[in-house]
């Protein structure tokens, strides 16, 4: 089956997953995570992409990002992927591919789904049994968004900023959201959207995206 063309709508957030080939480990040591974060910040700035949330797991990466040029997200991920593969292969004396083909992404309805998707990303270490609380995991944006840790990488989305009139209020309201996990139908909806390249949003949002792009963003009939 031919792949559907990727959607890059400037100003609209996207949920991105980049996986290791055959689920192989992509981060072995702390310096690997740090190197990836460094180049992510560098290429996000170069290609005008705002990063709202992220988590770096041992064999995959989740990002919530808003591009501000039509091809900014794709160019950022391509440059980041190539740079990191060169570093990883040199560091561990290996050769060949590291990533599982092209990255996967879904366009996100910010008003209704952005905070659900952001929590889904930052709760990955808890679901994987790597932490009992998202604050315990150092390689995610939770410590930035919920606890106020300084970061040159993170740019809060407007929807996040509306959680309170001050940064302290925003963080407090955001922490309250984590009293409930993202599970059940919402968990499935987020996963299905990003794995199939469809839109994460209500029917009205999907119709609007299809009108703007001429590209189907809802699953077809089997």
Q: Is residue 1 part of a domain?
A: no
What CATH number is associated with residue 153? Answer: 3.30.70.1290
Average pLDDT for the chain = 91
Query: 41: domain range?
Result: 14-213
Q: Is residue 6 part of a domain?
A: no
- Encode pLDDT of 158-194 as tens digits: 999 999 999 999 999 999 999 887 878 899 999 999 9
1 has a pLDDT exceeding 50? no
Q: Are 98 and 24 a contacting pair, CB within 8 Å?
A: yes
Total domains in the fold of the chain: 1
**Structure confidence at residue 89 as a pLDDT band (50, 70, 90):** very high
Q: Is residue 159 part of a domain?
A: yes
CA distances from 103 to 139, 154, 159, 177, 197 (A): 20, 20, 25, 28, 10
Pick the most confident of 101-105, 141-145, 186-190.
Answer: 141-145
99 has a pLDDT exceeding 90? yes
Q: How far apart, in whole angstroms, are the C-alpha atoms of residue 143 and residue 148?
A: 6
Edge-to-edge order in the sheet of strand 14-19: 49-56, 60-67, 14-19, 104-107
Q: Is residue 73 part of a domain?
A: yes
Model-level pTM? 0.92
Q: How far apart, in whole angstroms, are the C-alpha atoms of residue 34 and residue 27?
A: 10
Enter the tokens of residue 89: 């292969």
Q: How far apart, in whole angstroms, are the C-alpha atoms of residue 164 and residue 148?
A: 14
How much is the pLDDT for 222?
A: 46
Least confident range of 51-60, 85-94, 174-183 = 174-183
């Amino acid at each position: 089956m031919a792949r559907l063309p990727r959607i890059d709508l400037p100003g609209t957030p996207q949920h991105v997953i980049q996986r290791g080939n055959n689920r192989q480990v992509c981060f072995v040591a702390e310096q690997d995570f740090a190197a990836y974060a460094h180049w992510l910040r560098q290429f996000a700035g170069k290609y005008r992409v705002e990063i709202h949330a992220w988590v770096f797991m041992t064999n995959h990466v989740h990002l919530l990002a808003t591009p501000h040029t039509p091809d900014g997200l794709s160019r950022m991920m391509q440059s980041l992927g190539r740079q990191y593969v060169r570093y990883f292969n040199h560091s561990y004396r290996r050769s060949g591919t590291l990533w599982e083909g092209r990255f996967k992404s879904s366009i996100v309805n910010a008003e209704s789904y952005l905070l659900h998707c952001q929590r889904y990303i930052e709760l990955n270490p808890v679901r994987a049994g790597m932490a009992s609380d998202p604050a315990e995991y150092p390689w995610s944006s939770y410590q930035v968004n919920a606890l106020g840790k300084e970061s040159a990488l993170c740019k809060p989305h407007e929807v996040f900023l509306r959680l309170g009139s001050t940064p302290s209020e925003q963080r407090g309201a955001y922490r309250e959201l984590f009293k409930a996990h993202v599970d059940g139908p919402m968990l499935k909806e987020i996963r299905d959207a990003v794995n199939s390249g469809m839109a994460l949003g209500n029917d009205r949002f999907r119709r609007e995206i299809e009108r703007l792009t001429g590209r189907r963003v809802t699953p077809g009939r089997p």
